[in-house]
Structures are given as structure tokens and as C-alpha cells.
Amino acid sequence: MADITAASIHAAKAKSRSTAERHEARNALILSAPALILLLLFIVLPVAGVVFLSFTDFELGYSGFKFVGMDNYTELLTDRTFRQSLWNTTVYTAIVAPVSIFMALGFAMLIEAEGIGRSFFRTAYFLPVASLLVAMATVWQYLFHPTIGPVNQFLALLGLPGPNWLGSAGTVLYSLSIIGVWQSVGFNLVLFLAGLTAIPRELYSAAEVDGAKSAFDRFRLVTWPMLGPTTLFVTTISIINAVKVFETVKTLTEGGPNKSSEVLLFTIYQEGFVYLRVGYASALTVVFLAILVVLTFIQYRVQDKQVHYA
């Protein structure tokens, strides 16, 4: 009789727990429904639409289209413009992402160590992020002007010849990279400052007791490991933002001279909104998204193992 009673109590508890779990799951679904609907409408469906159009010859202004299979992707393999823009994007990202990360980390450590004027320097470095890049591009165009620009005038004082920064195929991509670094450092700096603030001060005292006397030792043993999650996030965001460069190219160079500054997003813009080849532009977009996904995956696989959580 006691066994039957215990079994009944156990069954009742299990039923009650199951009912509570279903109730909790239903409430969770209701609360997350708005976010899921927005995710479906603004991310999943547009991506699905782009993938669908990439298999068609759809052009703006024409009412009909037909499926062309993998023809758009096959064309990519022989498209010199695509290969050039892919190479330019790779070079730009390889310069902007690491330089902006290391500069931001260095500036963040200097600001964190300086008690006077900390708020001023935070604001000053963050201004490029808050500024309209299209408007600031005019300033950079003046700075890099081959005759009246301050950069070339300063080089002339040193007896050095000033190049045509934005008008020469040999320097235009590096000039755009300088602007990209200027734009990215402030945002990365704020993230690193947040990461540095979260590091417990006791760890530095403990490291010093254990023999870490120099600033470099404290950075190597405490600061750098504790900044692991922040560094992972900053690196991922920096790479994605560098790959997505568009505004400076469109405003300053239009991909020239001779496509030496044309990047992937500008090529997609040209194909889709200038030449109106939406099907081909969609194929380019799919490749672009695939590159972002692969880069993010590789970044997390490589760097996630080095992340140390406090």
C-alpha cells in the first residue's frame, strides 16, 4: 500500500513538473515571438530572396525572368572585376583590421593608465565613429589632395615627393585603408576600455607578488588573457566592418583609378543598381555573405580556444 502511495505521489509530481515545463516553454515562445518574427521578416526572408534571385537572370525594369541555374556563379569565376574587387577587399581588410585593433588596444591602455583627461580622450577618439563618414570623406579628400593637401605639403617640407594619394593606382587602396583605420580605432578603443575596466585590480597585485614586476609581464600574464573575450569580439567586428567597406570608395574614388580601389560591396552596388543585373548581383551577394560566415567561423575556431573568462 505504501509503495502504491509513493508511486502515486511520484507520478503526480512528474505530471506537475511536466505541466510547469510546458507552461514555461509556452511563455518563452510568446515572449520571444516578436523577435522571431522580426528575424524572419528582416533577415531570413531577405537572404532567402537573394539566394533565389541568384539562380535567375532577373534585371530591374523587366517584368519577367528565367532560371539560369549556376550560370551567375560560373560567370564569377571568369569575371576580372570580381577577382579584382575580391583582392582589393582582402588587402584592405588585412591592413585595417589588425592595425585598428592594435592601435585601439594601445590607446586604451594609455587612457586607462592616465587619470587626467580620460573622458576627453575617450570622446576625442570616439568622434570618428559618431561622425558621418560621407561628410568626413570631403575632409580626407582635402587632406590627400596632391597639390594643396596638408599631407603632401608636410612631405614637401621634409624634401619628399607627395604622391597623388587617391588618384594613383599604387596608393589609392592604402589611402582608403588609412581612412578605415581612423574610422575603426575609436569604436574598438571603447570596447577595449570596457574590457580593461572589468579586470579586477587584485589580479595585478597577485601577479606582482608572484614575480611579475615589469609592465610587460603584467600585460602578458594578466591583461592580455583577461581581455580574451573582448579581443575575440573586437577582432570579429573589425574584420566584418572592413569587409563591408563601401562609403569611402563610393564617395572618394568610385572604384578607380582603373578599378584599383573597387571592393566587393561596390561591385555588388554597380551590378545591381547601375547595370541593373539583379540576378548577378544576388550571386555576388551570396558569395559575399559566404565569405563573412567563413571568416567569422574561422575567427571563432582559432581564437575561441584562447579566450579566458573571469
Query: Three cell numbers at 308?
Result: 579566458
**Is pLDDT above 70 for 10?**
no
Q: List CB contacts of 186: < 8 A, sequence separation 6 or more.
A: 104, 125, 126, 127, 128, 129
With a cut of 70, say whether residue 155 has pLDDT above it.
yes
What does the pLDDT look like over 245-266, one tens digit per residue?
Answer: 999 999 999 998 999 999 999 9
For the chain, the straight-line distance linking the first and the last C-alpha, in angstroms and rounded, comes to 54
Q: What confidence category does residue 228 fall into, taking pLDDT thresholds of 50, 70 and 90?
A: confident
CA distances (Å), 229 to each of 204, 219, 299, 308, in order?
Answer: 19, 16, 12, 7
**Host H or E run for residue 295:** helix 278-303
pLDDT in tens, 107-134: 998 888 766 667 777 777 888 887 788 7
Q: What is the mean pLDDT of residues 166-174?
A: 93
Res 162: pLDDT: 87
Asked if pLDDT for residue 9 goes beyond 70, the answer is no
DSSP string, 43-55: IIHHHHHHHHHTT
Tell me the β-bridge partners of 67. Answer: 56
Cα(53)–Cα(44) distance, integer angstroms: 14
Where do the structural domains in the chain lie, given as residue ranges? 1-53, 71-306
Greatest C-alpha distance within the chain: 104
What was the pLDDT predicted at 245? 94
How many whole angstroms from its chain centre is CA 249? Answer: 17
DSSP 8-state symbol, 56 = B
Q: Cα–Cα distance between 184 and 103 in angstroms, integer?
A: 10
Q: Please tell me the distance from the alpha carbon of residue 174 to that of residue 156, in angstroms, as a whole number.
A: 20
Verdict on whether the full-model pTM lies above 0.85: yes
Taking the domain 71-306, which CATH number applies? 1.10.3720.10
Asked if pLDDT for residue 216 goes beyond 50, the answer is: yes
